[in-house]
Amino acid sequence: MWRDALLVAGKDLRLEWRSRVALNQVVPFAMLVLIVFAFALDPDRGVLERATPGLYWVAVLFSGLLALQRSFTIEAVDGNRDSLRLSGLDPAGIFLGKAMAVGVQLLVLEVLLGIGVALLYTTQFRGWALLVATVVVATAGIAAAGTLYGVLAAGLRVRETLLPLLLLPVLAPVLIGSTRAFEAALADAPADGWPWIGLLAVFAVLYTVAGVLGFGPLLEES
Amino acid sequence: MEPSHHPEPAGSSSGTGGRPPEPPVVHLRRAVALLGDFPALAGADLDVGRGEIVLLRGANGAGKTTVLRTLAGLVRVSEGEATVLGVDLVTDRNAVRHRVGLLGHGTGLYEELTVADNVRFWARACRARPEDADAAMARLGVDGRLRNVAVGRLSTGQRRRTSLACLVARRPELWLLDEPHAGLDQEGRDVVDSLVRDATAAGATVVMSSHELDRALSLADVVVTVAGGTTRREQPGPVVVPMIGDPQEAPDVA
């Protein structure tokens, strides 16, 4: 399973490296979201400062949707999904590989967005351990849930519009948990943030297990 | 599966020298496969012996592609018997997939990846060796300067060759070729023919459909006519050109 996961993750990351879709489209989109919020809330820097954790994770979620859609669009064309089904690759390995590739892209995006937040919103980062833990477990949850729902919508003609409709409500706990944990870290009160890490970890584990078990049947039906 | 019920496949290399006949590589009996509510296979019968080359012919929409996809384990058999390479497709169609190679209408290639990336990925996916991928690219003529070209920049024929290289690298036991000559130049079509002959000489079995009727008939040991989701096995023979205005007799092998 892990061999197949690494093979699929390597393929997806190589595809991204060659196509530069995330770099040329997803990252600029995420930065634009930050800039739009900065303009909208600029008259009152206090509001902007308080809203920074939420704005950051909203930008991550919206941008992550684009990366997830891209991850399944490449499999939806020219018989690639049939080739995957015939490949002999373990469906659980395909799920983990695609989730890993999305996760790596999200991590890069989150670092760039963090730099953007520091520059545009003049945010002073504190509580690094909590920040890093939040980023890691929230990313794992988004990637796992997004990959599971991505294959669910993959075979449908309306997948581009259906995926956000399916996924955004599901990711609401991640948005709430990661925002609260970031607020705690930035307020230099990490003790208030760690319980949210627990919630995010449970979410990530649940969707990873669901994906490992359910990706195969969903790939068949997609 | 009951081997005693199967006729000896024409052109089969099995069952010689007093040995008990090998079970067929493909065995369909009254197989029904639904695409939605539509019975794409409506009681198909088919037996293919090891090493045989079988040509499926029939009008557009007759069910040739569905037969090939069913044999690949991609379409569920809802009624009847269906066994491929000893695997019962009714109960576990996943188990046969890594042992077959399907060349379908799609290329199965990632456009942003190079030829070498694609062939090596699909070869590694089915546990083939890297040298198998390199040998397949050389055999299909997509090595050299082409190996590092993104598939999206290739011509239709070069993409088809790359798809075939992916299939060759897998070393499948059963080759399922849906219009393998389509989009290829003369040299490419010759390569396809030699690949098919070499594959069967090495013990593989081939089921194919092709618009290139002359080529396909010269390759085939057996011709199976597909019509209305059912099958009828024939011996290969000369192409009968229908009279104009008689669409029922059109030699359409799509």
For chain B, the domains span: 22-249
Nearest CA in chain B to A18: B112
Mutate to test the interface with B, among A4, A83, A98, A218 (most CBs of B within 10 A): A83
CA distance A143 to B1: 44
pLDDT at B12: 40
Domain enclosing residue A107, as ranges: 2-221
Domain count, chain A: 1
Lowest average pLDDT, out of A55-64, B48-57, B230-239, goes to B230-239
Average pLDDT across chain A, whole number: 88
Q: Indicate the pLDDT class of residue B236, thresholds 50, 70 and 90.
A: low
Does domain B22-249 sit in CATH 3.30.70.120? no
Does the pTM exceed 0.80? yes
Nearest CA in chain B to A6: B125
pLDDT of residue B35: 83
SS3 B34: strand
Mapping DSSP to helix (H, G, I), strand (E, B) and coil, where does residue B242 land?
Answer: coil
Q: What is the ipTM of this complex?
A: 0.82
Q: What is the mean pLDDT of residues A130-134?
A: 94
Predicted confidence (pLDDT) at residue A73 exceeds the cutoff of 50: yes
> Residue B251, SS3?
coil
B102:A82 CB<8 A? yes
pLDDT, average across residues B175-180: 92
Whole-number pLDDT of residue B14: 43
In sequence order, the β-bridge partners of residue B39 are B34
Of the ranges A32-46, A88-102, B48-62, B171-185, which one carries the lowest mean pLDDT score? A32-46
Tokens matching residue B215: 């080529």
Amino acid identity of residue B219, one-letter, is L
pLDDT at A126: 85
pLDDT tens digit sequence for A180-216:
999 999 888 888 889 999 999 999 999 999 999 998 8
pLDDT tens per residue across span A140-155: 999 999 999 988 877 6
pLDDT in tens, B115-134: 999 999 999 998 888 888 99
Q: In whole angstroms, what is the distance from residue A57 CA to residue B115 CA? A: 38
Query: Which residues between 52 and 81 in chain A have a beta carbon less than 8 angstroms from any beta carbon of chain B?
Result: 74, 77-80
